[in-house]
Amino acid sequence: MRGLLLSVVAAAGLAVPPAQAEPVTVRDAFGRTVTLPSPPRRIVTIFASNTEMVAALGLADRIVGIEAFTRFPPEVLGKPLVGGRLGFSVDAVVAERPDLVVVTPARQAANQLVDPMERLGIPIVVLLHRSMAEVLDNIRLLGRLGGVADRGEALAARLQGRLDRVERRVAGLAAPSTVMITGRLGNGLLLVARPGTYTGDAIARAGGRFGRESSGAIAQVSPEAILDADPDVLLFAGSDKDLKELIARPGWKDMRAVRDGRAHAVVRAELLIPGPRTIDGIERLAALLHPPDARR
């Protein structure tokens, strides 16, 4: 009946009132219920991953605050900073008058911001990105919150399609044992990708299996542990220069991956920042783990 009435009004040349925005309610990673009365116009995104997902939905122009380590996409650079290495400022967030804050529980960000935002009545949603499935779910959730649910579903579907193609490509191929070094600490220890993380999920989806010492719950391992693991493939999230410096150290040249020419640098932004670009990283990773001439 309402649709018929609107058609009659439109046919008569009268103005049709805009549809009222419906409130959207979601549950975040902390099990909190978050309700937005209407799509947000001013969004503060804490961490590069959340910024990239919001921007990928075509909402970069709504982002009004970011944290200091955000480097992509170019159109958000220069936005006001609300935190960085030393923590996150409630005052800086509030100064941007956000109607949505998106945060991930890393570097104490959620601990520092959730309670103050709740007290001030500013909607804040907490997201976790522990797997690619969770990343795609978060894209859909942000699409709903942003009033572009169809866009979120379409983006997630496109990315899932690319993941499915990688899965079909590596299905049935022998999975090489793989160690990915994701960082180096001042005490000489190395950080490695492990199961239960989005980077670990990326390795598995690309058709790799974890080297012995990278399969535990601890991300920090000694160089000797990696040498003992002697993986088929060694990946280094960083530059070729830094990889070459690392494997030039005593003992590394005898590693199977180094001897066989299967030590590779991979793009940090693709595999250490969960988001749409991680799909690019998984596609490239599958090509490294399973070169085109690989045989079943």
Give Cα 104 distance to the centre of its chain: 10
The CA distance from 293 to 291, in Å, is 5
Taking residues 15-29, report their average pLDDT: 72
Contact (CB, 8 A) for 178 and 210: yes
The CA distance from 54 to 209, in Å, is 31
**CATH number, domain with residue 29:** 3.40.50.1980
In a domain, 14, yes or no: no
In a domain, 4, yes or no: no
Q: Is there a single domain that holds both residue 141 and residue 192?
A: no
In a domain, 294, yes or no: no
Q: Is there a single domain that holds both residue 178 and residue 148?
A: no
What is the pLDDT, as a whole number, of residue 217?
56
Residue 3 has pLDDT above 70, yes or no: no
Taking residues 20-38, report their average pLDDT: 92
Q: How many structural domains does the chain have?
A: 2
Q: Is there a single domain that holds both residue 30 and residue 126?
A: yes
Structure tokens at 108: 């104490």
Residue 13 has pLDDT above 80, yes or no: no
**Residue range 100-134, pLDDT digits in tens:** 999 999 888 898 999 999 999 999 999 999 999 99
Structural domain for 251, as ranges: 174-289
* Contact partners, residue 176, CB within 8 Å, separation at least 6: 207, 208, 209, 231, 232, 233, 262, 289
What is the distance in angstroms between the CA of the first residue and the CA of the last residue of the chain? Answer: 62
Q: Is there a single domain that holds both residue 89 and residue 215?
A: no
**Residue range 252-267, pLDDT digits in tens:** 999 999 999 999 999 9
Backbone region of residue 95 per phi and psi (left: phi > 0; alpha: psi in -120 to 50; beta: other values): alpha
Q: Is there a single domain that holds both residue 149 and residue 34?
A: yes
Residue 243 has pLDDT above 60, yes or no: yes
**Residue range 127-180, pLDDT digits in tens:** 999 999 999 999 999 999 999 999 999 999 999 999 999 999 999 999 999 999
In a domain, 12, yes or no: no
Q: Is there a single domain that holds both residue 112 and residue 139?
A: yes
In a domain, 169, yes or no: no
In a domain, 6, yes or no: no
Q: Is there a single domain that holds both residue 193 and residue 93?
A: no
Q: Is there a single domain that holds both residue 115 and residue 46?
A: yes
What is the pLDDT, as a whole number, of residue 212?
62
Q: What is the mean pLDDT of the chain?
A: 90
What is the pLDDT, as a whole number, of residue 87?
87
Backbone region of residue 197 per phi and psi (left: phi > 0; alpha: psi in -120 to 50; beta: other values): beta
Give Cα 173 distance to the centre of its chain: 27
Residue 248 has pLDDT above 80, yes or no: yes
Q: Is there a single domain that holds both residue 243 and residue 186?
A: yes
What is the pLDDT, as a whole number, of residue 219?
81
**31-36-37-40 Cα dihedral, nearest 10 degrees:** 180
Residue 18 has pLDDT above 70, yes or no: no
Q: Is there a single domain that holds both residue 36 and residue 107?
A: yes
**Pick from 109, 129, 156: which residue ends a domain?**
156
